[in-house]
Structure 1
């Protein structure tokens, strides 16, 4: 074993296994640089100790940055948090750079910073598809809808919200980006004696501009007029329906679903919800739901 000290830099050479250590007397590869000189003298360095190291695997020749056992030719998936890869612009043609080359470009059209990949002929913008919004929610708490006044539907139970775009308490969806979104609302009220020729209107309301973006309505009639066999009493009706609208929204637009009705002359009608939210066989389960899908 030979120890060489040059200008304060400590190097370790072991001809028997042909490996070199810089800043460490315990190299783990054919070349091992311990940037912080914090590795253990014997044994395997910990992941945090190796996070500041550079190593060339003695068998494969793969280069690891903070990785003791690189799995690919350049592996920087270390325990540290500084695992970014820096790229700069280049004026090389795609053909000169060769297929598979990658650059960071802020000069050429389309305007704007971007990562580009060469296929050997042209530079093409690398596209990363965003996580599209998918919201699925259901009502499991009762809510009264006042006659003649649009009421925001809130206190939803969220089954899925893939982009964290839905405020379940307020019932407000915020568009994460410019795009097209489809809203599907199903609703059902508890039974009441309704006015003949009444209607229920589903509204999709922009809370920022205080405007109705779309509305769908359904009309209802009395289920049965008085006859001798029911003692001349009008029977109650469960008004319900579904509404589907597709909207083009700008990023940050906030939309809430609302219901308006004139089923009765005054007062409020409650939505039909389950009395046991954990029991899918409950006869009142699944009548009020909201689904939002980004295209």
Structure 2
């Protein structure tokens, strides 16, 4: 009986003795406490940031701290030093890894339980492209953007390609948008949101009613391939925004248009805006934009 009692006392003492394990420190403050540089104080619970930076701890709540002795979450590597987590590659399926898993496979990805999805963890090394420009003149290329002649004045029932912009701002290289030609060239693959607005000076909207040619103004984005041509054969995509209006105006009114569209562009592809309108009986190049109120603007932003 005495032997049994003695054995129980020894076992309890052993359990108590090793309830906290310290490696390279006689002063562990967690279930497991490793002092990498062996620079912790022998007693007490006050540790400098430098002393904590080389420590690893497992607390009695099952939290792990690397570089911190007060982990706030299950795995905490926040400290005043070089706190970072490295993820390796994995060939596990998203289902096998289960939702919440993270890996690095040519980029950081996370599992939602069904598929691996990219995780945006940082901004790109270069700024994304943003272009802001305004148009304060009536210069256009008629019929085709490759026309040799620049015409001063917009024409009814013609394609009016908007050239001669004034660039207000452009990020990145500053050379993606050619303000003279009105052509934006994608510097690299990506999604670009393009928007432009125009406002014609007051005019009488009174074109003869024609069911096949309704009274309207169209704002159009034309996407071209990555060659040098600006012909029909080079067109990749066209987005048209149409504004219709009453067949007759009591007095002169402004005819406005706008078009916003998203394009996936590969490097070298080009984007250009133009308008087409059918507003009255005159078919000569004598229409003007309203250049006095800042109504004619263009914005292109990479997403």
Structure 1 length-normalised TM: 0.49
Q: Judging by fraction of residues, say which structure has more helix.
A: 2
TM-score of the pair, normalised by structure 2:
0.48
